[in-house]
A and B are shown apart, each in its own frame.
Chain A
């Protein structure tokens, strides 16, 4: 019982830490950046509402209209977007 309580005591802060880390992925500046780059690349989107980081300079952006894009810097050093 005390082991379960101890585990819960450990897991709860961990869960809170993970939960607090999640909104960092939806940094408003990043969402704005992804929205702007999709507009510049003439991709239909409207507005990016959430983003998931894949790697450095590589994100999965979800748009208000439901479209999803992989936004990344390609091997040629260009900002690119691939529709998913």
Chain B
């Protein structure tokens, strides 16, 4: 009986710890909502968020060049990645040329899969390139998904 009580207390204590965590996590989320009405304050966090952004980013051409020159993978791997990138670019081209501009969204999953493949291939041999690719994922998507930016690639 005592054991059960101790067990329940421990469980309750564990739950209390878990339960205590969300308010702590919610607190920062709630804070901006309170601060939001003041225009000056949201501007400062925006600048603070923008400051860490200067991490080096890549565009598609730069990514291809870095992959071409890295020693993290061999000739066959590089060629297979290039083939798959070209295939994906071809799909983007087809979507942009068709009237259905919203169709690009369906390429997000193949794009993410390809980025993961590239990361898996280079992360051991060239961690800095892996970090750059990871940090550039959204920027590259932004280029690929925008018809104007995409056409400027060619």
A32 surroundings in chain B (CB, below 8 A) = 73-74
Task: Determine the main DSSP class of B at the interface with A.
Answer: helix
Q: Does A73 contact B79, Cβ atoms closer than 8 Å?
A: yes
Q: Given the known A-B contacts A29-B74, A30-B74, are A36 and B121 also in contact in the complex, defined by CB atoms under 8 Å?
A: yes
Question: Given A73-B79, A79-B83, A40 and B74 touching (CB < 8 A)?
Answer: no
Chain A positions within 8 Å of B81 at CB level:
40
**B91 close to A (CB within 8 Å):** no
A63 within 8 Å of B (CB atoms): no
Q: Are B77 and A40 in contact (CB under 8 A)?
A: yes
B69-90 CB mask vs A (1 if < 8 Å, else 0) is 0000111110111011000000
The answer on a CB contact under 8 Å between B117 and A40 is: yes
Beta-carbon contact of A36 and B74 below 8 Å: yes
> Contact flags (1/0) for A62-76 with B, using CB distance below 8 Å?
000000000101000
Min CB–CB distance A31 → chain B (angstroms): 10
Contacting pair B76 A37 (CB below 8 A): yes
A34 touches B83 (CB 8 A): no
Q: Which residue of B lies closest to A61 (CB)?
A: B76
Complex A-B, nearest 10 residue pairs according to Cβ-Cβ distance, in ascending order: A33-B74, A37-B76, A79-B80, A36-B77, A79-B79, A40-B80, A37-B80, A78-B83, A79-B76, A33-B76
Q: Which residues of B contact A (CB under 8 A)?
A: 73-77, 79-81, 83-84, 117, 121
Query: Which residues of chain A have a CB within 8 Å of any CB of chain B?
Result: 29-30, 32-34, 36-37, 40-41, 57, 71, 73, 77-79
Sampled A-B contacts (24; CB under 8 Å): A29-B74, A30-B74, A32-B73, A33-B76, A33-B77, A34-B74, A34-B76, A36-B73, A36-B74, A36-B121, A37-B74, A37-B77, A40-B77, A40-B117, A40-B121, A41-B80, A71-B76, A73-B76, A78-B79, A78-B80, A79-B77, A79-B79, A79-B80, A79-B83
